[in-house]
Structure 1
């Protein structure tokens, strides 16, 4: 990515929180004159007071912020929509609109690996990270996975590898990102409340490869409907993966994981469960091989990696029962994938924030479910779904109450699965809090 000159330039940062703080600090270090606008009051913590003492201007009413041509860039929080008045003003002024990732990347000269997609981003990024580390290659991970790039980039040199998980929101604000290795796990119709149309969403995802060169690589899911479009438009070398097709750079053949024709390991030795995770494994292993990781290191990680917290995460086996935490499953499609990952008798815990979804299409996915535990705001919808599928169902208030019920109902050989199919905001602040409360209640019930 091309360097940008921020020295002595006026920059408006829109949105505070962790990424806003991080990019403000970086911009100051790069010599910029920074104004921060926020939709609401600032928490006057040490960061706020320190930055205020360095002449940063803070405006708690973003709609009243005076943005004019004296400002060089608007750097906005990725989650802030482009229809907000301050962003619209920047668009009217034809002012470049960046995310904090763009500011940070403009200072980075090392090897860049970037991962995006509708689902599987965090798992794929985590697998690549662990494979690099297992091969004793230093790697720094940041982006949508939880750490602002601006917090880490100052310590990196041209000899370092930066591994980024990037959302569509972030990619829209990175004008000319050029990853040495880019991965697109899959593309569904997500975040249409933000992007308005699927075409806009796909265009945001395409940003990851738009400026790649013929010396760089793009890894694509061969089974994705948008893959031909991406492959035709990119200038990068394209490598595809599939768990269904063969004859590709990354594939499953004769129950073996093959990368570039090399048999890495039997599929049965991979710890992650579910067909969707086979796709994540294929994507990650392809990227790792391109980065020079040994087959041994890839195999070692895949034999031990049990999943990212709250994403179809294997927890433990107690009395012959396997317990999984999939609190990140905040939509129907994610829960369908989770339910399809098991052919053992399953006790499924579902329910959460009611967004008006019709759950009836989930009936076929309850094939192996023996008991449903319904929770949250959509409890009655889950009950109706269970009845429609001919399944036993019980109701409890929340996931903490569901945990001991599941423990009592489970027998050796069963799976207990929390996969809500709904957001957590009816009862919890985040899906992480929901998952942590569930795991805590399970451990208490199991006395472990």
Structure 2
């Protein structure tokens, strides 16, 4: 781990704990900073705060004092989920105090280079796929970021021969200053998280911070089939590596109906790729390009693509039972993600959807609702989903209270040859703490139904 002299004896406020805040506070303390942690959870119920206090970190729990910044802090490191409308964050920015997320700290302390992956959809699949490709090619990758492993904790232990493959959200990227990945990937850009960012312009600008510090020595891989992303990419100083699904190109990476290509040469037949869906082909092209740019081999790419079946909660195949196939796509937290899932199934879908009400439009789903033979809906958006499905002519619409009821009704309305798909098009927080917990509830409900009726 690199030492950062600029942080020695610097007064730093870490706002919000969870995994990233705890790790950042511990590392900053080890670097010699004077660290204060402020978290809303009460100290008695906060083991992370208790551990930090034992290390000598100042801890303020159970409240966010509005005069906290009067203590003369020179830097704030915030949990990515804390919005910029937060009183303390607003005040820090007004005072000219830098506000980071721990991704910036991870970059500064890391001896290893970064590959950064972001996008509205597909970033977890792309990150995981790229990690597997590099790992099988013995490139010593480490995996980190929004995928579940705190980047600064990974960077703390990384050495020069490693490469840190990092999934990055717009929340994390917005709080970066010097972060510079050697390879940056944006899978796609769609309207998302406007409740946090306030505007599509701020959301897009936050995503584009992934390439803002890149130079001509670096690479920027992006979706050339999206005009908005191509326009943003033109402003990057990195070497541009566009990908397209619109047919073979002699430059960069591309795909047609039969093959994927690198610089006009065939890599493999699409029919041999295990990961299904048009949306996943974008992820495959991005990961393949990054692997080749990092010195990976085509042979390894073919081997991985011939066996990789997906990431948990991302169009994850669960089981085939009495002619019905069950898929868990709980990560689909917006309509665009659910649209991508529906594209993979041409007909006879029993769709389980609904969740937190963020007023997102469902119109992206309309052209694909003729594939849905029954909608089982739940959560805060249940009424709006039911009304929308009725407008689209879905023949069966049921509103339910929980996942067990949803799976039970889906089985009741399904037949041999049908697909039962959880793809909510909404965040989970009205009923579940995370999309992972929601997906696990679906898997558990499927297990109970299939085991009870074998």
Q: TM-score, normalised by structure 1?
A: 0.93
CA separation of 1:227 and 1:380: change in aligned 2, threshold 3 A: closer
Contact residue 328 and residue 431 of structure 1 kept, 8 A = yes
2:93 aligned counterpart, secondary structure: helix
**Structure 2 regions of 5+ residues with no counterpart?**
none
Tell me the residue number matched to 1:297.
300
Of 293, 314, 332, 2:335 maps to: 332
Tell me the residue number matched to 1:30.
31
Greater mean deviation of Cα atoms: 300-309 or 353-362: 353-362
Tell me the residue number matched to 2:221.
219
1:315 aligned counterpart, secondary structure: strand
**Structure 1 regions of 5+ residues with no counterpart?**
none
Deviation beyond 6 Å, 4+ runs, structure 1: none
CA distance in 2, matches of 1:316, 1:274: 18
1:62 aligned counterpart, secondary structure: coil
Alpha-carbon offset, residue 254 of structure 1:
4.8
Paired residue total = 448
Of 313, 321, 324, 1:321 maps to: 324
Deviations 1:414-436 (A, max 9, x none): 21111122222333222222211
CA distance in 2, matches of 1:115, 1:236: 15
Deviations 1:75-116 (A, max 9, x none): 111111222221122212212111111112111122210011
- Pair 1:431-2:431 in alignment: no
- Pair 1:385-2:391 in alignment: no
Contact residue 339 and residue 364 of structure 2 kept, 8 A = no
Alpha-carbon offset, residue 285 of structure 1:
0.7
Tell me the residue number matched to 1:49.
50
Greater mean deviation of Cα atoms: 157-166 or 348-357: 348-357
Please, what is the CA RMSD of the aligned residues? 2.2
1:67 aligned counterpart, secondary structure: helix
1:421 aligned counterpart, secondary structure: coil
Q: TM-score, normalised by structure 2?
A: 0.92
2:138 aligned counterpart, secondary structure: coil
Tell me the residue number matched to 2:371.
368
Tell me the residue number matched to 1:250.
253
Alpha-carbon offset, residue 438 of structure 1:
1.0
- Pair 1:411-2:415 in alignment: yes
Tell me the residue number matched to 1:206.
208
Greater mean deviation of Cα atoms: 174-183 or 240-249: 240-249
Tell me the residue number matched to 2:199.
197
List aligned pairs for 1:112-151, cutoff 5 A: 112-151=114-153
CA distance in 1, matches of 2:27, 2:148: 17
CA distance in 1, matches of 2:77, 2:364: 41
1:58 aligned counterpart, secondary structure: strand
Tell me the residue number matched to 2:102.
100
